[in-house]
Each structure stands twice: as C-alpha cells, then as structure tokens.
Amino acid sequence: MATYNKFQDYAEQLNKGVHNWSTHTFKAALTNSAPVATNTVLADITQLSTGGGYTGGAGGGLALDTVTLSEASGTAKVTIADEVFTASGSVGPFRYVPYYNDTATSPADALICWFDYGSSITLATSEVFTLDHDATNGLWQLV
Amino acid sequence: MSIDITSRIVGKRVAAVLSNGHVLQIRTECGAELSLVWLDDNGVPLKGRPVIAESGVRLQARGIRDLIHMPGIARGQ
C-alpha cells in the first residue's frame, strides 16, 4: 500500500484559513522526484511534463472531482471520490503523488500531503491509474 | 490493445483474481491490476483468445488521523 506523508506547512496553512475543503479545488500531481516534508508549494515539486493526457506545470495534475468535508462528534473528515486517469500516451515514470490546493493564492498552490507508491510507474497508452481513496475513513481526519 | 500479460505480473504476488463471467481481473499486492476478457475472431466476447481489456495501477490512498495537541489540558478533562 502506498504510504502517506504530510507536508509540514499544511498544519500551519490549515490554521491560517488557507485551505477550505468545502469550496476549494484540490489536485493530485505526479512526480518521480521525492518530495520532502519541508516543501510548501507546488512550485517546489518537479512534476512530470505535459504529455499523454497529463498536464504539468502550475495548476497541473489530476483534479480531485468530489471532495467532501463532514463533521461528526467533533471529528472533521475529508473524503474524496476515487480519481481515475486514463493515459492517452506514455506517462511517467512517476512514483510520488503530491496533493495540493489549486485555489490557494497565498501561498500559491499550497501543498497538503503526498503518497509514495514505493516504485516508479510508467503508464502506456490507454492504461488506467486509479487513486483509490478510502470512502469510510477519508483522506484526512482532524480529531 | 496488445500487452504481454506475463511481463505485467511476473515476479509480483497475486492478491486476488476476480471474475464476473465476462471479465477476469488479476490484482497483485503491489497494486497492479489486469482485467481480461475473451474475444473470438469476430470480436465477439466470450469465445476465442483472452486479451487485456484494461491494465493500470491502483494507488491505495489511505490517509491519517491528526490530533490537536492541547498540552495545557490534563488527561481526563
């Protein structure tokens, strides 16, 4: 299973109101360069170049289409629908999938977390990459 | 789509093989997935040779629970 890692700055930016999980647009980028926990914005990440259906650069990545923030008994939870990307050409190699807030402007494209698949992946034409999110426990909970 | 099946799963540990009678899906513990169907010479399903209908990678994106630490409050309060 892929491992979850949190960018340290996320804890600060969350409390500064930079992230609104109910209204903002969040995206998942693809990279083969290991992020570090002290990275703060998407510009710190060496994304894949645009190609094969993937869009790199500022505002790039896979849009997370259905993001839901809920709260029950004092626990806030963010759930995200599975994201399915079908390559239209060769994509990769990539190993890391950092998530960021595409709406945030200060700092711009603030980073949240990243997943490490454990080995590099290269997608061929028509191959499918699925971000399988946990529908029950969500991506993230604040207790 | 023509992809060599063996090269996609060789050396990997199979986690599950699923079938609904039309599609055969092989999942490995590292997340690789193969969905197989059979076509006859006319492209009609269920007869003929197996081909890969879809292949890809599933990243199990499991998150965490973060706690708000309040060091000034003792346990039980």
Q: What is the pLDDT of residues A45-102, one digit of tens each?
A: 999 999 999 999 999 999 999 999 999 999 999 999 999 999 999 999 999 999 999 9
CA quadruple A90, A131, A37, A74: dihedral, nearest 10 = 160
CB atoms within 10 A of CB B73: 8
Q: What per-residue confidence (pLDDT) applies to B74?
A: 59
**Would you call A1 and B3 a contact, using CB atoms and an 8 Å cutoff?**
no
ipTM of the complex: 0.79
The one-letter amino acid at B31: G
Mean pLDDT of chain B: 76
Predicted local confidence at residue A1, as pLDDT: 72
Q: What is the DSSP string of A17-39?
A: T---TTTS-EEE--BSSPP-TT-
B13 — contact with chain A (CB < 8 Å)? no
pTM of the predicted model, to two decimals? 0.78
Q: Tell me which residue in B55, B63, B66 faces A127 most closely, judged by beta carbons.
A: B55
